[in-house]
Amino acid sequence: MNTLQDLKSRFNHLRIISASNCGVAHLTMPAAEAINHATKKRLELGPLAFKDAEIEGARRQFAQEFGLLLNTSPDNISFVPSVNDGLTHVALGILSRVHPKRPKIALYKSEYPSNVFPWTRPDSKIGFDPVWVLGERGTGDRPLRFSVQEFKRALDENPEISVVSVSSVQFESGFKTDLEALGRVCQNRNVWFVVDAAQSLGSMPLDPKQIHASVVTASGWKWLGGPEGSAVLYTSPEFRNWIKRPGMFGPDARVQKSYSDPGYTPAPGGKMFELSTCNYGLISGLGATVKENQNAIGSDKIWEEISRLQTIFLDRLRAPNMQLVDLQADERAGILSFVVNTDPGNVVARLAEKGLILPAPRGGYLRVALHWFLTDEQVNQAADLLSADLKSV
């Protein structure tokens, strides 16, 4: 059985220190190899590749691996190109179910756009009416956190709210939502609970049933280490049975008698949200990285290692002119956000030239997103480079 150190050795080819995993993470070797293999099949077999049992099996493996990762049935798993695509499917599915009613949704005011625009559709006559939870602001009026109590109050004051949608981890401050507590509030009020897990899935455990979620979606190219253009969508059987049909219509996603037959029956399970002509290279790549990394190591061990590396990093920092965002220990996740006394964008640009890759600043914060595959030496080097840069300005 491979140890964590054995698996870390797969990343020895990196020529940089990759600490941008909340933005675009480094593509893992299993993902790259699977993509290359599927692309070669497509090159050799042309259209017959879609009939090849190995490529058709890529979708099954994708669903099985994410079923294992999320502790759910593979039938509840869908491949989608992005969080935006997945939530648009879900939002339009709900809207088609309740038409012509315009439902209400509770959203955090500083949510990531991919978890806002699929719902509110500001330039359209269709969509949800948002009820905004303002949350608490931090240093310099930067976004910081919100409480479950604020969402509870919004639901009590607006009983017509039918959906609550939140990010598991906020992209700006790194604040981690108490998903289980918020999900329980939604469950007690018969409100659909939707989670954008782009900033946590792949770095810490997540069980949709445990948090009472009806929908969970996450990008493949962040903490999961997969390719751009790949994402996962979980939907509960209860939610799928209620909406009855997906929100975006296309013939490939349906079981039909013929393409000329206007009637259709949605495909079973999570396949109802998928197109049949998918990019099997992307599906293979994302499935492979989850199999060889997250499921091989275990989500608990990955988060334990990330936490350990964060402690090493913070202990090593020697920059008096930077302040870690004011969050409690149980509110922290993979993103370390800092307030600095200079333009964080310039810091990111200078460090990139020295081989330390940080994510783009968001909300006025300088962010650091360490992942499990980094070595102690690399983490110490990252802290030294950041400390030296901030001391020089």
Give the pLDDT confidence of 292-346 residue by residue, as tens digits: 999 999 999 999 999 999 999 999 999 888 999 999 999 999 999 999 999 999 9
232 within 8 A of 217, measured Cβ to Cβ? yes
pLDDT at site 306: 98
Q: Average pLDDT, whole number, for the chain?
A: 92
What mean pLDDT comes out for the span 178-206? Answer: 98
What mean pLDDT comes out for the span 143-170? Answer: 98
Q: Does domain 32-295 have CATH number 3.40.640.10?
A: yes
Q: In this model, does residue 256 exceed pLDDT 70?
A: no
pTM score of the predicted model: 0.94
pLDDT at site 157: 98
pLDDT at site 257: 53
Percent of the chain at pLDDT above 70? 95
According to CATH, what is the number of the domain 4-28+298-391? 3.90.1150.10
Helix 376-391, helix 299-316: angle, nearest 10: 40
Q: How confident is the model at residue 247 (pLDDT cuts 50, 70, 90)?
A: low
pLDDT at site 319: 87
Q: How confident is the model at residue 356 (pLDDT cuts 50, 70, 90)?
A: very high
83 within 8 A of 196, measured Cβ to Cβ? yes
Q: Could you tell me the two tokens for 128?
A: 């949800």
pLDDT at site 264: 64
Residue spans of the domains in the chain: they are 4-28+298-391, 32-295
The domains spanning 4-28+298-391 and 32-295 adopt the same CATH topology: no
What mean pLDDT comes out for the span 368-375? Answer: 97
User: What does the DSSP assignment read for 188-240?
Assistant: HTT-EEEEE-TTTBTTB---TTTTT-SEEEEESSSTT---TT-EEEEE-HHHH
Q: How confident is the model at residue 258 (pLDDT cuts 50, 70, 90)?
A: low
Measured distance between the N- and C-terminal CA atoms of the chain, rounded to whole angstroms? 47
Percent of the chain at pLDDT above 90? 77
Nearest 5°: the CA angle 92, 273, 215 is 70
370 within 8 A of 312, measured Cβ to Cβ? no
